[in-house]
Amino acid sequence: MRWSQALGRFFNGEKVFQLTLVAPLQLLMWVLLIVPTVIVVYLSVVGWQPILGVDWWQAPFVGLENYLRVLSDARFWEAVGRTLLMVVFAVAAEFALGLGLALLFRAEFVGKRLATSVLLYPMMLPWVVVGFAFYLVFLDRGPVNYLLTSLFGPGAAVDWFRYPTLAIATIVAADIWQWTPFMFLILYSGLSALPKEPTEAAMTLGASQWQIFRYITLPMLRPVIVVAVVLRVLEALKIFDLVYIMTGGGPGTSTESLSLYIYRVGFVYGQLSYAAAMAVVILVGIALVTRLAVRSLELRLQGM
């Protein structure tokens, strides 16, 4: 039994123990992150379209052609602009509403637990279902138009999905509805974790509610706000499901988000190499845009 003893001692060594614990994750990260990154960069410099019957490793090298095409692709840049627009409006509204609700929920009231549950549930729903719900609500003959006509007369009904601006507004509304709870959750927990002494001291000194909020609560809450907004922005940049189900990018391509455009180019039109080039461009873009945000996140991480 010397073998098994040796084996046992080997696996019980602390170093081996640690490595065994992280090995599956490392493997997954290699398979999922490192190798695909290499593949996507490779695909972006060749001309691969599966429909042509050529395997990906045999596709001809085209250098930076795909990237040059991205640069001059109006539909791509419109999708970029549109996605940023949606993110700005959605996250700003989510932050304002989330903070408002968080401040509201600091008070004690009857049914608080139930109200919290109800408020949080939009987050759990499949995005597809949220999109479908908003599609139905904003439909021609749906409740929103009914409400509008009963308030402002028969001329007030709007064909929401026919006009680009309005269609985008409905998508943003769905995003706000689904993710305000997330903002609320983080900000509320941040608020409840703040030390009470500074506020109480300011109160005894006769500071007004607004002064307390502006000069004490808000500054103390800043790190939490940064985390909430950064997480939400990163998530909102991926917007796909809501657009796909509500407008399908239409009318025309006027509500197409970045993810939806790349999905179409790669998986509907079958131009995998061109989709790869766009993927690389947005990977780099997101990495750069979030660099600053990540720094502030790291500060928080080290505090853990």
Partner 1 sequence: MSGGPQSSQLVSAPAAELAPAHARRGRVAGLLAVVAAFISLIPVLWVLSISIKPPDEWLAYPPTLWPRRPTVTNYQVLFQVGNPVGTIAAMTRSAEPVMPAVVNSLIIAPIATAISVAIGTAAAYAVSRYRTGGPMMPFLTLTTRMFPPVAFAVPLLVYYRSLGLIDSRLGLVLMYSAFTVAFSLWMMRGFFDGVPRHIEEAAMLDGASPWRVFFTMSLPLVKGGLAATALFVFILNWTEFLFALIFTSRQAVTLPVQVSRYVGAIGRFYGPQAALGIVASIPPVVAGYLIQRHLVRGFTFGLVK
According to CB under 8 A, which one of 120, 156, 218, 292 is a site residue for partner 1? 120
What is the smallest separation between the CB atom of 284 and partner 1, expressed in angstroms? Answer: 10
Pick the stretch among 18-26, 65-73, 164-172, 211-219 that binds partner 1 (CB under 8 A).
18-26
Q: Scanning residues 172 to 201, which ones bind partner 1 (CB under 8 A)?
A: 177, 181-182, 185-186, 189-190, 193, 195-197, 200-201
Per CB under 8 A, does 36 bind partner 1? Answer: yes
* Stretch of 63-71, 72-80, 88-96, 232-240 contacting partner 1, by CB under 8 A: 232-240
Interface pattern 42-81 for partner 1 (x via CB under 8 A): -x------x-----x-------------------------
d(CA 292, CA 80): 20
Angle between helices 218-236 and 164-193 (to 10 degrees): 140
| Interface of this chain with partner 1, residues 234 to 273, rule: CB under 8 A | 234, 237-238, 240-241, 244-245, 258-259, 262-263, 266-267, 272
Burial code of 274-295, b = ≥16 C-beta within 10 A, e = fewer? bbbbbbbbbeeeeeeeeeebee
**What DSSP string describes 2-41?**
HHHHHHHHHHHSHHHHHHHHHHHHHHHHIIIIIHHHHHHH
Which of 7, 51, 104, 292 is close enough to bind partner 1 by CB under 8 A? 104
Return the residues of window 123-152 that contact partner 1 according to CB under 8 A: 123-130, 132-134, 136-137, 139, 141-143, 146, 150
CA dist., res. 270 & res. 64, Å (int):
19
Residue 120: HSE in the Cβ half-sphere, 13 Å Cα cutoff: 11
